[in-house]
Amino acid sequence: MFNEIISEHFMNPRNVGKMSNPDFVIEIGNPICGDTVHMFLQVDSNSIKDVSYLSYGCSTSIATASILSEVVKGKTFNEIASYQKSDVIKWLGELEPAQNHCVDIGYNILSECAKPKQRKLTENNFLVEDGGALT
């Protein structure tokens, strides 16, 4: 069964959709269950100005992307980097054992959103590390 937080964000997802002009695109996936989240970010020198996402997977994964999009929007990279996995657990509320993989998805979203300045978007929309290795 779904808790109220997950149900609300699944039925009324926030910030959903593909952003037309993102500065960065982050892809988070879970190879075991197949859930995938694409986060589109518009940033300034030290914060995330706007965020949207496309999420493919279970209802809890979709709700997790919605919740995390609200968390990171308007936050500085340092604020985002200060969050812990325990924060994700608190934001998602009580989960069934089969839903716990979404805590990792949420924390991975936070980890990647905290460091978009380390990446650049190429003409072909591939994320490239500053060192040049394709991600």
Tell me what pLDDT residue 15 has. 96
CA count, 13 A, side-chain hemisphere, 28: 25
Where exactly are the structural domains of the chain? 4-123
Sequence-distant (6+) residues with CB within 8 A of 102 are: 35, 58, 60, 61, 63, 64, 92, 95
pLDDT tens digits, 39-73 = 999 998 889 999 999 999 888 889 999 999 999 99
CA angle 74, 80, 86 (to 5 degrees): 125
Within 10 Å of residue 21's Cβ, how many Cβ atoms? 7
CB 127 within 8 A of CB 62: no
Tell me what pLDDT residue 29 has. 85
Give the C-alpha separation, 17 to 87, whole Å: 25
The torsion region of residue 125 among left (phi > 0), alpha (psi -120 to 50) and beta comes to left
pLDDT tens digits, 87-122 = 988 998 888 888 878 888 888 888 888 886 555 554
Tell me what pLDDT residue 71 has. 94
| Assigned architecture for domain 4-123 | Alpha-Beta Complex (3.90)
Tell me what pLDDT residue 25 has. 87
